[in-house]
Amino acid sequence: MQTLWLTLQDGMTLRAFRVGSGTFPVVLLHGFTDSALSLTTVIDHLAPRADVIAYDARGHGGSGRLRATVTVQTLVDDALGVLDGLELARVGIVAHSLGAATAFLLAVQHPQRVAWLVMEDPPFYLTPPPQTNTLQEWKTGIALLQAMSAEEMLTYYRTVQYPRWGDADLVPRVQARRDLDSNVFDLIDFANTPDWRAYAPQLVCPSLLITGEVALGGLVTPEAAAHLQTLAPNVQVAQIAGAGHQIRCEMPDAYFAALDAFIAPLLKETL
């Protein structure tokens, strides 16, 4: 796997990884508090068929630290900067959570750059999202984890928080938490995130929404998924029973079956 360092127009440096034997580029966007390597299982799954690029969002992984407030639109502009920096004219995107919301906005703002889109449980709410104090509670929890050694955190994840996950997902999560800039909780302004419902009618590329169960921690309700399809009829929905928010980690067989069914014909079209 090749490690790349990309400098954006505002001077921010992003760490990226590139691997694969295919010719069509597929870009992976991770979720909030994760890193590019949190998608290791997806990278490994796609590498035999595609040119896979995964990068750490600013404030995450090995990318530059945050020094001023940014918005989700900043993250969209960063994604576009990655495409430009690597001279990728048109890509497929597989993304999770905040990364999926970022990819969604990229696809509607720059439709000529996104051939197709896979969104794993983005924060598409029909009612207002959790309040800011939830972020502060999350920040406190991350601080407690960062005070642990890597082995202590891995043991905690295995035995308490993520007992169903395999080490292929757990080990990168430990490293992502240790690398995380805690300023992301204070300097990413989620309050000004565009309403996905206003943009959904502009989503023209073939798209797949993979959702879990809200009762298990999933964000997208069946009602929100159905509403998205009324606004953007080109969106397919795969609802994975038994999974929460981290669908690929909790129900990997079902996740990858849904992913493959969607992208296999699309990758053939690009050959």
pLDDT in tens, 99-133: 999 999 999 999 999 999 999 999 999 987 666 56
What tokens were used for 253? 């067989």
What pLDDT is attached to residue 130? 60
Domain ranges of the chain: 2-126+184-269
Task: Supply the Cα-derived Rg of the chain in whole angstroms.
Answer: 17
| Beta-bridge partner residues of 24 | none
pLDDT in tens, 46-77: 999 999 999 999 999 999 999 999 999 999 99
192 versus 64: the higher-pLDDT residue is 64
Confidence of residue 267 (pLDDT cuts 50, 70, 90): confident
Q: What share of the chain is helix, strand, coil (3-state, %, to 5)?
A: 50, 20, 35
pLDDT in tens, 244-260: 999 999 999 999 999 99
Whole-number mean pLDDT of the chain?
95
Q: Using CA atoms, how far apart are residues 64 and 7, in angstroms rounded to an integer? A: 10
What pLDDT is attached to residue 128? 76
CATH, range 2-126+184-269 = 3.40.50.1820
Is the predicted pLDDT of residue 192 greater than 90, yes or no?
A: no
